[in-house]
């Protein structure tokens, strides 16, 4: 373990440690995702620190969520950090995480508006804070109530938005790098695999049918990553 961490550049190493510590903490304090995950801004559960802390929280009901994100961070993060430099890499990672949240909030605001005619649904739902229960104050369909209850009462957690920004940066910097993946029997270049992955997320985001995964937040991370690389003038160069 010491050898593994010692070979990682500083930002990737510290991000890995922080995420691991936060995950262990959420296993001990099971309400941590509700306090440090991020809620819709109009929700009574929203706190000002959540847009940052949500990136370091993960689903504490299993290991798949954090495993995928941290595996991707360790696989792709070091090479991108060495190209961008540690300071720019950290800024890139955090801004991609915030960009993921911006797109997620935009999608949620549209959903709330379609149901209520406003992006604030406080006249339609109310919260029994003592019993952690959400109930309707106006007559709406069960489907619409379930949508509002999910938006207002379910926190977004995870580094996935930042990780998708990282994947996008890898594809831009190393487009011809061949990736060997367990579920694909032949090598596939980054410039093909990662765009396909993002397109799949777009499709799932618009056809998720009740999925608890914020697919469009992943797309937001990649989108903001692309914009950042363009703004910073980061190009492929001779990195591949």
Tell me the pLDDT tens digit for each residue of 88-112.
999 999 999 999 999 999 999 998 8
Closest residue by Cα to residue 33 from 52, 56, 66: 56
Which pLDDT score, from 0 to 100, does residue 239 have? 52
Phi, psi (rounded to 5 degrees) for 83: -75, -45
Cα Rg, the chain, nearest whole Å? 19
Assessment of whether the complete model's pTM goes beyond 0.85: yes
pLDDT along the chain (240 residues), means of 10: 73 97 94 93 92 95 91 95 96 97 93 87 68 68 83 91 96 90 78 90 73 78 95 72
Query: DSSP letters of 102-127?
Result: HHHHHHHHHHHHHHHSSS--TTTEEE
DSSP 3-state of 154: coil
Which pLDDT score, from 0 to 100, does residue 228 have? 96
Q: What is the DSSP letter of 49?
A: T
Which pLDDT score, from 0 to 100, does residue 28 have? 94
Tell me the pLDDT tens digit for each residue of 146-179.
888 888 888 999 999 999 999 999 999 999 998 8
Closest residue by Cα to residue 76 from 197, 220, 214: 197
């Amino acid at each position: 373990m010491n050898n593994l961490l010692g070979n990682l550049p500083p930002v990737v190493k510290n991000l890995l440690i922080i995420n691991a510590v936060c995950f262990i903490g959420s296993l001990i304090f099971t309400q941590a995702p509700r306090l440090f995950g991020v809620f819709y801004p109009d929700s009574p559960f929203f706190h000002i620190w959540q847009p940052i802390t949500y990136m370091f929280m993960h689903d504490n009901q299993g290991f798949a969520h954090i495993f995928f994100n941290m595996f991707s961070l360790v696989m792709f993060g070091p090479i991108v950090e060495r190209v961008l430099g540690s300071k720019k890499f950290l800024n890139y990672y955090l801004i991609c995480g915030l960009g993921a949240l911006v797109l997620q909030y935009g999608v949620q605001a549209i959903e709330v508006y379609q149901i209520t005619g406003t992006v604030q649904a406080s006249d339609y739902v109310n919260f029994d804070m003592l019993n952690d229960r959400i109930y309707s104050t106006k007559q709406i369909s069960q489907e619409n109530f379930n949508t509002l209850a999910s938006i207002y009462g379910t926190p977004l957690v995870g580094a996935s938005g930042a990780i998708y920004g990282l994947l996008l940066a890898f594809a831009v910097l190393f487009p011809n790098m061949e990736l060997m993946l367990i579920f694909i029997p032949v090598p596939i270049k980054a410039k093909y695999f990662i765009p396909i992955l993002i397109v799949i997320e777009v499709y799932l985001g618009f056809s998720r049918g009740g999925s608890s995964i914020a697919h469009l937040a992943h797309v937001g991370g990649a989108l903001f990553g692309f914009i950042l690389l363009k703004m910073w003038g980061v190009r492929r160069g001779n990195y591949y």
